[in-house]
Amino acid sequence: MEKYIIKGGNVLSGEVSIGGFKNAALPIIAAALLTEENVVIDNIPDVKDINVLLDAISEIGAVVKRISRHSVMINAKGIYSTCLENDMIKKIRASYYPLGSLLGRFKKAVVPLPGGCNIGNRPIDQHIKGFQALGAEIKIEHGMIIANADKLVGNDVYFDVTTVGATINVMLAAVLAEGNTVLENAAKEPHIVDVANFLNSMGANIKGAGTDVIRIKGVKALHGTEYSVIPDQIEAGTFMMAAAVTKGDITVKNVIPKHLEAISAKLAEMGCKLTEGDDYIRVNGNCNLKRTKVRALEYPGFPTDMQPQITVALCFAEGTSIVTDTIFDGRFKYVDELTKMGANIKVEGGNTAIVEGIDKLTGAQVSSPDLRAGVALVTAGLAADGFTIVDDIEYIERGYEQLDEKLRKLGAQIQRVRDDKEIKKFKLKAV
């Protein structure tokens, strides 16, 4: 099993180029199944979740051609099955997106119940509610979601909770439905807008994405397109936190600063100096970090996917900070691991952490409970005294491309290792 070993204490500085957003690219790849024509998707990250989904759609007959590391051409004309059974796909959360697109085009689909990160209760009732409103019959049997419809007809769907996944999935099913669909209490995240823009570039008629009411006028067919995925605001935010914890000076390049406002505002409140350009943000963390309160909320609130990383930064802030995650009920599982490094954090009621600032963290062997918690532990290791070993990095690699290489370019001492021999070698070389 691969791990990261980190020798902490280096001040990180320089520029890092941010890749395409995994959580936008996943539904966009699924959306490519809605047409028989060629679709070219640029700026996709080369990470496990994306590659698993690409393999899964090629197993049901889509032609998937890698044009380059970050560009892919998909042609879904020859799809011969609407059942995704790939063992790997069961493990990713986004396995539910082909349900929306296959149902939309073929009026039937069978996909595994989603897996993904273990961050609390993750129902799919709102996806089901939306599909049923369009006329589909949904059954769950043997771990699979089975959807069938004679035809899909547009309808009004009011989501009981704001959900990114269900908003996108029902949008995927509705673009080829007869008549009009209105999604109310829709999620507003930048990737909802990105998926809508992608679908509109294929000839769909979607209005209002980015607000809480999305109106979709069904069209007869969609055509091919070429599209570039938006930058990954969570990857960018992660490097911004790395600047804060190492007292570094990092410029995240190829970003949309507007998407990062909630993160930038918190870092500024904590005392970091930020400079913003059209497509970059520079974070100077050479300051005494100040305590703050964070509430992870739906967009444009502070993103839940940045909650573990900011909690690590707040370990270094003077005084007591409070972090609440209102989106998922089990997203503080990493706190036990951080405690091994000397953090002083108490979790109350499952979704609130009380973080007492401390002088330093010390390196320890810790394990990633999920993707964002894993990367937060890496961030902690960058600032900790001595050596940190982060186990179970396959979680991290589901969503971060070349994390170790990008961090090394900024001056970190980090290595991906397989065994004790490689760990010893790293320790001997580390300065």
What letter does residue 242 receive in the DSSP assignment?
A: H
Tell me: does residue 171 bind ligand EPU (CB under 6 A).
Answer: no
Element holding 407 (H helix, E strand): helix 403-409
Q: Least distance to ligand EPU from the beta carbon of 300, Å? A: 12
Tell me whether residue 150 is exposed, middle or buried, using C-beta atoms within 10 angstroms of its C-beta: 0 to 12, 13 to 18, 19 or more. exposed
Tell me: does residue 295 bind ligand EPU (CB under 6 A).
Answer: no
Tell me: does residue 163 bind ligand EPU (CB under 6 A).
Answer: yes
| DSSP one-letter string for 267-336 | HHHTT-EEEE-SSEEEEE--S-PBP-EEEE-STTSB-GGGHHHHHHHHHTSBSEEEEEESS-SSTTTTHH
Question: For residues 26 and 294, which CB has a smaller minimum distance to ligand EPU in the complex?
Answer: 26
Name the CA dihedral angle for 296, 298, 301, 304, rounded to a multiple of 10 degrees. 30
Distances (CA, A) of 47 to 20, 54, 228, 316, 410: 10, 11, 16, 30, 21
Q: What are phi and psi of 250, to 5 degrees?
A: -120, 135
Tell me: does residue 70 bind ligand EPU (CB under 6 A).
Answer: no
Contacts of 172 (CB under 8 A, 6+ apart): 27, 30, 31, 34, 97, 100, 101, 104, 195, 199
Pick one of 123, 179, 277, 319: the residue that binds ligand EPU (CB under 6 A).
Answer: 123
Cβ atoms 27, 168 nearer than 8 A: yes
Tell me: does residue 121 bind ligand EPU (CB under 6 A).
Answer: yes
- Contact stretch for ligand EPU (CB under 6 A) within 163-171, 242-250, 272-280, 382-390: 163-171
Tell me: does residue 368 bind ligand EPU (CB under 6 A).
Answer: no
Pick one of 91, 108, 122, 360: the residue that binds ligand EPU (CB under 6 A).
Answer: 122
Rounded CA gap, 116 and 164, in Å? 15
Pick one of 41, 136, 166, 364: the residue that binds ligand EPU (CB under 6 A).
Answer: 166
Q: Least distance to ligand EPU from the beta carbon of 320, Å? A: 26
Q: How far out from the chain centre does Cα 193 lie?
A: 15
How many chain residues touch ligand EPU (CB under 6 A)? 26
- The catalytic residue among 83, 117, 272, 287 is 117
Q: Which x/- pattern over 182-201 shows residues binding ligand EPU (rule: CB under 6 A)?
A: -----x--------------
Pick one of 372, 382, 393, 407: the residue that binds ligand EPU (CB under 6 A).
Answer: 372
Tell me: does residue 305 bind ligand EPU (CB under 6 A).
Answer: yes
Pick one of 82, 95, 126, 233: the residue that binds ligand EPU (CB under 6 A).
Answer: 126
Structure tokens at 320: 């007591």
Q: Least distance to ligand EPU from the beta carbon of 124, Å? A: 5
Tell me: does residue 124 bind ligand EPU (CB under 6 A).
Answer: yes
Cβ atoms 172, 100 nearer than 8 A: yes
Tell me: does residue 175 bind ligand EPU (CB under 6 A).
Answer: no
Cβ atoms 101, 57 nearer than 8 A: no
First-to-last alpha carbon distance for the chain, in angstroms, is 25
Q: Least distance to ligand EPU from the beta carbon of 271, Å? A: 27
Tell me: does residue 233 bind ligand EPU (CB under 6 A).
Answer: no
Q: Least distance to ligand EPU from the beta carbon of 34, Å? A: 18
117 is catalytic: yes
Active site residues: 117
Query: Interface residues with ligand EPU (CB under 6 A)?
Result: 23, 26, 93-94, 117, 119, 121-127, 161, 163-166, 187, 304-305, 327-328, 371-372, 399
